[in-house]
Structure 1
C-alpha cells in the first residue's frame, strides 16, 4: 500500500501552500516569517507533528543511489557529459555539482529533522507514545543522512539543532569517530522509540527494524564490527523480516512492501512518480537514457551455478557463451543478449545488430552492451517518466551480509555466519548457489565481499564498500569493458567504452572534497586532505 507516500506528498504541498499564503498577506508579513511555519500558527496539534515528520521523508535518497555505483568499478556513467562521469574520470574538484548536490540534499534532510526535534515538544499532546514515535523517526532519518555524509566526505560538521545565520558561519569539521558515536547513539535511541510495524496505511515509515538495520550498516562502515554484528543479530532474531521468495521479482510492483524491505523511498504513479525506467532502460524502450550501465567487471564476479569463480580451474566458463550456467542473479539484475524487453522485442546490443540498442548506434545506447534490469517493469513502458515503483534503501539481505562480514572480521566464524551467507546464496526459490561450509578468514572475507557486490548491485552500497575496504585504488582505475561477442570475422571481441579511463588517486579520492560553496560561506571549515 502507498497511502503513506500519498499523504506525505499532500502534506508537504500543504506546508508550502501555507507558507505562500502567509507571504501574500502584507499584515502577516510583519509578524510571521515567510520562509518557515511560525510557532504562532503551527505545532498546535498532533497532526502538525505528523505533518512535520512526514516532510522529512522527502529528503530520503532515490535513484541517486544508483549513480553511486556508477562511480565505482561495477557500473559506468554512459554519457561523458553527465556530472558523475567527471567523478569516474577523476576530473572533479570542490566545485563539482555532484559533490555539492549530495551535500546539500543530506544537510537539507538534517535541517528538517533538527527543526522537528527542536519544536515537537511544543505540541500539546497526552499521547506520549505517538510523539516519541515521531521523535524516533526524525532521529533515524537524521542518522541516515549522517551515515551517507561520513562515507562520502569524512569529517563533516555535526549539526543537531536549527542554526542561526551567525552560527552557521562558525561550523567546524567534527572528527569521524565522534560522528560515528553520534550516529550510534541516535539510532539506538530511535530503535527504542519506534514500533516494529505499522498499520497498512502507514507502510513506509521508519521502524525499529529499519533503525537497527541502519545501526548495523553504520557500525560496519565505521569498522566497529562487534556493534555491527550485534545490531544485525537483533534484526535477524526479531523474526520480523525474511528474504523475499524471488530475486527476479524483488524489484517489481508485485513485491512492494514485502518482508525483506526495511526501508524504501515510496512513490506513486501519477501522483508522486519517479523516472527510474527512463533513467536506466535500454534506448530502444521509448528513447530511455541508459544513464548508468553495468560493466564487465561486475558481470565477471557472478559465480557459475556450481559456485566457482569463472577464473577457477574447472569452472566450465566459456567466453563464447559467457552467461551460460551462471548465478541466476546475473540475469535478474542485468539485461543480457536476447533478453525480452518491456516492449516485447529482444535485447540486441552487439554493434552489428542494427538495433537501437547496438553499441555505437547512438551516444545514448549502452557503451558496454549491458543495461540495468532492476526496477525496469513492463507496467512503466507506456510512460517511462511516470513510474510508481519504490526504491529500496535497506533490505534484509544486506543485514545478513553485514552480520556475516562483521563476524568474519572479528574472527568469530560459527554456524550463524554460514547460515547468514547461505541464506543469501540459496534462500530463494530462484537463486540456488551452493552452500559455503568452510574457509579461512581471508577466503571468507573475499567471498562475503563478492556476495555483497553481486547481491546489492545498483543499490548504492558498493561505493562505500570499496572505500572502507580500501580496495578502490585496485579495482577502479582503467578502461571500461562490456560484452564479449563474435565479430564478422568470427573472432571473440570485448567491447570497450570509447575514450574512458577511470581514475582513482589513493591520496585523495577516498573522500570527496568539501564543496567550495560551503567553504566560502563557512571559513571555519577545513578542506579534506589533498583537495
Structure 2
C-alpha cells in the first residue's frame, strides 16, 4: 500500500501544521496549542484522523533488519567484524548490546503506538462503524506482530496493553511466555474477524484477515501449538485469496510487488519513503555497496541438486569443480554466484586474486565468503543504492504452506494435504521444479520441511526463530564461517574461510536474548533471562 508510507515525523508535522493554523490569528501567543505533540483537543475528531493514526502504525513494522537476524545463524554472516551483529555471532554480546536494545525498543514503540490508537479511536463519532472496526483490527494485528517477535527473541517480556506513563514504566514485570502466546492468539483471532479479505488497489499493504490468520499460524508454530498452527494455516489456504507467485526469480523485484503471494510487507516508495537494501546487501563493486550480511557455504550446500538429492548423497551428481551446476534454481535466485551478471552489467567474480572489487580479501568490505545476497537487489536501484523503493516482504504464502506441513508432521497427521503443501513450494512455480516427495516417514519429512523452510525463506528473517524452536542452534551455529570453493594457483580445490570468525552459541543462555540493561535499570520488577 504505497499510500501507507506515512512517516511518524510527517504525522507530527502535519498535526503541528494543523495546530498552528488554528491559532495563527490569535494575538495572545501564550495561549497557542503546542505544536510538538499530538493533542486530543485537535485530533480524534474524524474518521480521517483514525486513518492517519492507523497508517502511522505501519512505520513500526520491521524492514531490512530482518536480514540481520539470519546473519546471527548458520546461513549468513555479518561481514564487518565491527558491526554490532558480529558480536552476537561471536557470543561476546550482553545486556548492553545496542542491537538487542534496538530490537526491543522498536518493537515496544510499535506496541505503545497501537495501544494509544486503540485507547483513543472510540472518541471519534463514527458514521462508518465497520471502517473503525477495520482500523481496530489493523492495530490489533500490528501489535500482535510485535509481540510475536518480542516473545521469540526474548521470551517472557512485559505484556503491555495500555499507554504507559514514566511511573507506570517503572512497574512493568515479565509476563510468562504461555500468557504471551495466549494474548497473541486472542488478538489475532479477534483481528481476523474485524478485517476484510482484500482491499481496493489504492489500499494495498493494509493488514487483511488472511494476514492476521497467517501471523496466527506463525505464532502458534513458534509456540509449539501445532494443532492451532495447522488450523490457522489451513484457513489461509482454503480462503483461495493467496497463492504462489509464478516466478521465484522475480518475487523480490518491483514487477512483483503486491502479488498474490504477499500476505504482509513493509511498503516503501522511491524518493519519498525509501530504504537502503541495495546499498546494504549488494556486492562491493556495485557503487561501493556494503555486503553487510553475506551468505555462507552452510546455506549454499543445503540446496539440492535438480534430481532432488542432497549434494553429499550418493548419486546426486554434484561436482565440486562445478558446484552451482544442476542445483535447485532457488540457489541462483537467492545468492550471487560466480559468473552472475551484476546490476552494473559486470560479471561477478569473487575468487581470491581475480582482480575485481569483489575478490575475497581485496578489501574488508567485499564479501568474506565470496557470496552475496541477491534477493531485493534490483537493477532499478543501481543508479542510487540508498534510494530503494522495493517493499520488504514480512509474510508470504510459501511460509503458510510450510507452516501447515510442519505442524501436521509434528502432530503425526501426515496426509495428502501435507505432501501437497510441500510439493507446491518445491515445484509450484514456473522456474522451480524440484521433484515431488511422497510416502516418507515422519523423521524424513521433518528433515525435509526444515530444509525447505531454510532455503525457501533464506534472508527473510525466519531462520533464527526456527533453529531456536527446533533447538538445533547449538549444533549448526558454532564454528568457523566458510564460503566459496575455488581452484587456487596451484590447481588445488580450496574453500574460503572468513577471517577471524568463530561463531559461538551457548545453549545455556543464547536461546533467548538478554533483557536490555536499560530496561532493567528502569523497572526493578523486571527480571533478567537465565545466565545473562
| 2:2 corresponding residue in structure 1 | 2
| 2:473 corresponding residue in structure 1 | 472
State the shift of 1:241 in Å.
0.2
SS in 1 for 2:233: helix
SS in 1 for 2:380: helix
| 1:269 corresponding residue in structure 2 | 270
| 2:253 corresponding residue in structure 1 | 252
State the shift of 1:41 in Å.
1.2
CA contact (8 A) 1:9 1:272 kept: no
Tell me, yes or no, if structure 1 residue 232 matches structure 2 residue 233: yes
SS in 1 for 2:521: helix
In 1, Cα distance between equivalents of 2:13 and 2:31: 24
- C-alpha distance 312-28 of structure 1, shift in aligned 2 (>3 A): farther
Q: Deviations over 1:11-41 (max 9, x none)?
A: 4642465579899999787786666312111
In 2, Cα distance between equivalents of 1:495 and 1:4: 44
Query: Deviating runs (4+, > 6 A) in structure 1?
Result: 6-9, 19-31
State the shift of 1:439 in Å.
1.1
In 1, Cα distance between equivalents of 2:101 and 2:380: 34
- C-alpha distance 112-432 of structure 1, shift in aligned 2 (>3 A): same
In 1, Cα distance between equivalents of 2:15 and 2:244: 38
CA contact (8 A) 2:115 2:161 kept: yes
| 2:162 corresponding residue in structure 1 | 161
State the shift of 1:393 in Å.
0.3
Aligned residue runs from structure 1 range 99-498, under 5 A: 99-498=100-499
In 1, Cα distance between equivalents of 2:298 and 2:42: 56
CA contact (8 A) 1:295 1:481 kept: yes
TM-score by length of 1: 0.97
| 1:520 corresponding residue in structure 2 | 521
SS in 2 for 1:3: coil
In 1, Cα distance between equivalents of 2:476 and 2:383: 38
State the shift of 1:472 in Å.
0.2
In 2, Cα distance between equivalents of 1:12 and 1:335: 41
In 1, Cα distance between equivalents of 2:266 and 2:27: 38
CA contact (8 A) 2:216 2:232 kept: yes
State the shift of 1:4 in Å.
3.5
State the shift of 1:10 in Å.
5.3
SS in 2 for 1:448: helix
In 2, Cα distance between equivalents of 1:429 and 1:373: 19
CA contact (8 A) 1:6 1:268 kept: no
State the shift of 1:8 in Å.
8.2
- C-alpha distance 22-104 of structure 1, shift in aligned 2 (>3 A): farther
CA contact (8 A) 1:110 1:142 kept: yes
Q: What 5-or-longer segments of structure 1 have no aligned partner?
A: none
In 2, Cα distance between equivalents of 1:255 and 1:185: 33
CA contact (8 A) 2:11 2:56 kept: yes
In 2, Cα distance between equivalents of 1:374 and 1:9: 29
SS in 2 for 1:387: coil
- C-alpha distance 318-44 of structure 1, shift in aligned 2 (>3 A): same
CA contact (8 A) 2:78 2:292 kept: yes
Q: What 5-or-longer segments of structure 2 have no aligned partner?
A: none
Q: What's the C-alpha RMSD, in Å, of the aligned pairs?
A: 1.9
In 1, Cα distance between equivalents of 2:101 and 2:136: 28
Number of paired residues?
A: 531
CA contact (8 A) 2:45 2:125 kept: yes
